[in-house]
Chains A and B, each alone.
Chain A
Amino acid sequence: MRTLAQASARQLADAWGAWEAPPEIEAIRGPEAGLVMVRGRVGAGGDRFNLGEATVTRATVRLHGGPLAAATVGSAYVLGTDFEHAWFAAAFDGLLADEKLRAQVLNDVLAPLERGQASHDDVRHAEARSTKVDFFTVAREHV
Chain B
Amino acid sequence: MYVAVKGGEKAIANAHALLAKEGRGDPGIPAIGRDAVAGQLPVLVSRVMTEGSLYDPKLAARAILQCQGDVLEAITLVRSYRTTLPRFGYSEPIDTAGLAPQRRVSATFKDIPGGQQLGATFDYTHRLFADPTGDGPTDTGADAVPMPRVSDLLGSDALLEPDRAADWTDPEPADLTREPTVFPMTRAERLQGLARGDEGFLLALGYSTQRGYGSTHPFAGEIRVGEVEVEFDAPELGFPVPLGRIEVTECQMINQFTGNADTPAQFTRGYGLVFGRGERKAMSMSLVDRALRADEFQERIVAPAQDEEFVLSHADNVQAAGFVEHLKLPHYVDFQAELHLIRRLRRDFHDNAGSKRETNA
Using a CB–CB cutoff of 8 Å, the interface residues on chain A facing chain B are: 1-2, 5-6, 32-56, 58, 75, 77-81, 121, 124-135, 137
Instruction: Pick the contact of B188: A49, A124, A129 (CB < 8 A).
Output: A49
Nearest 3 pairs of A and B residues by beta carbon: A45-B163, A49-B188, A79-B244
User: What's the minimum C-beta distance from B307 to chain A, rounded to whole angstroms?
Assistant: 20
- Determine if B164 and A79 form an interchain contact, defined as CB atoms under 8 angstroms apart: no
- Determine if B58 and A52 form an interchain contact, defined as CB atoms under 8 angstroms apart: no
Known: A40-B93, A126-B139, A128-B117. A51 touches B192 (CB 8 A): yes
Specify which chain B residues have a CB less than 8 angstroms from the CB of A53 in the assembled complex. 53-55, 82, 87, 177
Specify which chain A residues have a CB less than 8 angstroms from the CB of B271 in the assembled complex. 42-44
- Determine if B90 and A37 form an interchain contact, defined as CB atoms under 8 angstroms apart: yes
- Determine if A48 and B164 form an interchain contact, defined as CB atoms under 8 angstroms apart: no
- Determine if B244 and A36 form an interchain contact, defined as CB atoms under 8 angstroms apart: no
Known: A1-B242, A52-B54, A53-B53. A35 touches B85 (CB 8 A): yes
- Determine if B54 and A36 form an interchain contact, defined as CB atoms under 8 angstroms apart: no
- Determine if A43 and B269 form an interchain contact, defined as CB atoms under 8 angstroms apart: yes
- Determine if B192 and A33 form an interchain contact, defined as CB atoms under 8 angstroms apart: no
Please give 7 more A-B residue pairs, beta carbons under 8 A apart, in addition to A34-B88, A128-B117, A129-B144.
A36-B230, A40-B191, A42-B163, A47-B171, A47-B173, A54-B230, A128-B119
How distant is the Cα of A141 from the Cα of B352 in the complex, in angstroms?
79
Instruction: Pick the contact of B88: A44, A58, A133, A134 (CB < 8 A).
Output: A58
Interface membership of chain B positions 125-169, coded 1 if the CB is closer than 8 angstroms to chain A and 0 otherwise: 000000000001111101110000101100000000001100010
Interface range, B side: 35 or more
Specify which chain B residues have a CB less than 8 angstroms from the CB of A44 in the assembled complex. 96-97, 149, 151, 163, 250, 252, 271
Instruction: Pick the contact of A6: B87, B116, B245 (CB < 8 A).
Output: B245
Known: A39-B173, A47-B173, A52-B195. A132 touches B93 (CB 8 A): no
- Determine if B85 and A55 form an interchain contact, defined as CB atoms under 8 angstroms apart: yes
User: What's the minimum C-beta distance from B227 to chain A, rounded to whole angstroms?
Assistant: 8
Using a CB–CB cutoff of 8 Å, the interface residues on chain B facing chain A are: 49-50, 53-56, 58-59, 82, 85-94, 96-97, 100-103, 110, 115-121, 136-140, 142-144, 149, 151-152, 163-164, 168, 170-173, 175-177, 186-189, 191-192, 195-196, 229-230, 232, 234, 236-237, 241-246, 248, 250, 252, 269, 271, 273, 275
Specify which chain B residues have a CB less than 8 angstroms from the CB of A47 in the assembled complex. 164, 168, 170-171, 173, 186-188
How distant is the Cα of A132 from the Cα of B115 in the complex, in angstroms?
7
- Determine if A49 and B192 form an interchain contact, defined as CB atoms under 8 angstroms apart: yes
Specify which chain B residues have a CB less than 8 angstroms from the CB of A33 in the assembled complex. 85
- Determine if A42 and B188 form an interchain contact, defined as CB atoms under 8 angstroms apart: yes
How distant is the Cα of A47 from the Cα of B332 in the complex, in angstroms?
50
Can you list 27 A-B pairs with a CB-CB distance of less than 8 A? A35-B82, A35-B86, A36-B90, A41-B93, A41-B163, A43-B163, A44-B250, A45-B163, A47-B171, A47-B186, A47-B188, A49-B191, A49-B192, A51-B275, A53-B53, A53-B54, A53-B55, A54-B246, A55-B55, A55-B56, A58-B234, A78-B243, A79-B243, A81-B56, A81-B59, A131-B118, A133-B117
Residue of B nearest to A7 (CB): B244
- Determine if B115 and A52 form an interchain contact, defined as CB atoms under 8 angstroms apart: no
- Determine if B88 and A56 form an interchain contact, defined as CB atoms under 8 angstroms apart: yes
Specify which chain A residues have a CB less than 8 angstroms from the CB of B250 in the assembled complex. 44
How distant is the Cα of A53 from the Cα of B53 in the complex, in angstroms?
6
- Determine if A38 and B88 form an interchain contact, defined as CB atoms under 8 angstroms apart: no
